[in-house]
Amino acid sequence: MQTTTKSPARVLGTFTQNINTTFLVSSSSELYSFCQQQIEHLTARYPIYWSRIIYHDPSIENHQEITHEQQNKPLCRKTLDYLNSQEYLENFYTNFSLYEINITAFNSSLCYICPLGYRNQNPEYILVLAHEPLSLNLQQEVKQTAMLVSKYLDMYLECRQQKSEIQLLEQVIQRAGHQLRHTLATISIYAENLSQALTDSPWQEQAAIIRDSIQDLDSNLTELIYCSQKTKLRIALHDLKSILNETVQGLKPLIEQKQLQIYYPETSNILPIDRLQIKQVFDNLLSNAVHFSPLFGIISCSWQIFQNEVLICISDQGKGLSTEDINKIFTPFYSRRLGGTGLGLTIAKKIVLDHRGSLWAQNSLQGGAQFFISLPRSTN
């Protein structure tokens, strides 16, 4: 009977280089393909001849495993059984550090482990077998691969969460929209009847205002429901300045109440966009800017035209954004406004994403919040 003496894993240093890589992860298959490419790349680097990534994919019930080995160096059954048993995980390993594991009882090769983290109460890591000790450069490459995979996993999970939140938002909007439209239709009928019955009465004008306001609400609700549906955008060439001016006019009572100044470009800017949806974006962003602006404050709207895109900036002189705001401001049902629904900015971001653009927020160096919209200049 063969026994195995376990010795503590030997740490070979910690990788601390900052990785600033942007990925677009949209499916479980893309995640699998990325991890497979990374593990195949490691295995192709002498003296590594066998490597494995263990990671958690929430769309799969168990942890996902990707193993790659050189065809001329298959593992014996005892070595493979030991690696599959994960008995070497008894020690607590630091993320993105490289450790050497003693497997001499099963294999004369050198074995290294580099942890990615712990998700769903299970470890994620890279495991490699090599003919001889890894050089410092190759050790760094293993650690960097671990960081890249971990970053990719983070973005994949974030993308899944955002999709789930958007789906929930779409369901809420459509359900609430159908309920509200029935009530609005009833109020509109009574307002129209009052307007006709109060001919030559001083109350007729107020009844007409109620009727017109209900019609505006119904139009906005129609746009909101339309934005929540996965229908084709009604793209045509429209002037950003015209849409922005329309939004400013709609907010004029609130702007005058706080005696704000609104600055935006005099020049036109024609883009292929869905006019109703982009107006909804401007409505939501400027409404927030007006709400958070101090008395006599200034709201600035500007845009820069680049070769392939237009960058729009809307800034105010309010208190700015907290760290929590910046992290959660586009999350459904998160609101900084008393009595707010927390849907406006989420809808705005969805609209911009549907246009193949980007929407993000940050604090201005001069104080206040800034929202940036990037929109493509062509539909190609």
Q: Of the residues 136, 157, 178, which one is the last residue of a structural domain?
A: 157
Residues 271 and 232: their CA atoms lie apart, in Å, by: 17
Neighbours of 249 (CB within 10 A): 9
CATH number for the domain that contains residue 364: 3.30.565.10
Per the structure block, which two tokens stand in for 40? 């195949």
Q: Which two tokens mark 285?
A: 């962003």
Q: Is residue 28 part of a domain?
A: yes
- Cα R_g (the chain), whole angstroms: 29
My answer on whether 134 and 240 are in the same domain is: no
Same domain, 110 and 241: no
Helices (H), the chain: 28-43, 77-85, 136-197, 204-228, 240-250, 252-257, 275-292, 323-328, 344-354
> Are 240 and 148 contained in the same domain?
no
Q: What is the pTM of this model?
A: 0.53
Which residue range(s) make up the domain with 263?
233-380
Assess whether 143 and 255 both reside in one domain: no
177 falls within a domain: no
256's tokens: 């005058």
Q: Where is the domain boundary, 157, 192, 221?
A: 157
Total domains in the chain come to 2
- pLDDT tens for the chain, 380 residues: list them: 333 444 445 555 444 344 444 444 556 888 888 999 999 999 999 999 999 999 988 777 667 888 888 877 788 899 999 898 888 887 778 899 999 998 888 888 999 999 998 887 788 999 999 999 999 999 999 999 999 999 998 888 887 877 777 777 677 777 777 677 778 888 888 888 887 888 777 788 788 778 877 877 776 676 566 555 555 788 999 999 999 999 998 888 899 999 999 998 888 889 999 998 899 899 999 999 999 999 999 999 999 998 889 999 999 999 999 988 888 888 877 787 776 767 788 888 888 988 888 899 999 888 899 999 999 988 76
Q: What distance, in Å, lies between the first and last C-alpha atoms of the chain? A: 68
Q: Which of 322, 324, 325, 309 is nearest to 358 (CA)?
A: 309
Token pair, residue 310, equals 């237009």
Same domain for 241 and 130: no
Query: 32: domain CATH number?
Result: 3.30.450
Whether 309 maps to a domain, the answer reads yes
With beta carbons less than 8 A apart as the criterion, state whether 334 and 162 touch: no
Q: Are residues 283 and 144 in the same domain?
A: no
Which of 107, 130, 157 is where one domain is finished? 157
Half-sphere exposure of 17 (CA within 13 A, CB side): 14
**Same domain assignment for residues 153 and 260:** no
Residue 222 lies in a domain: no
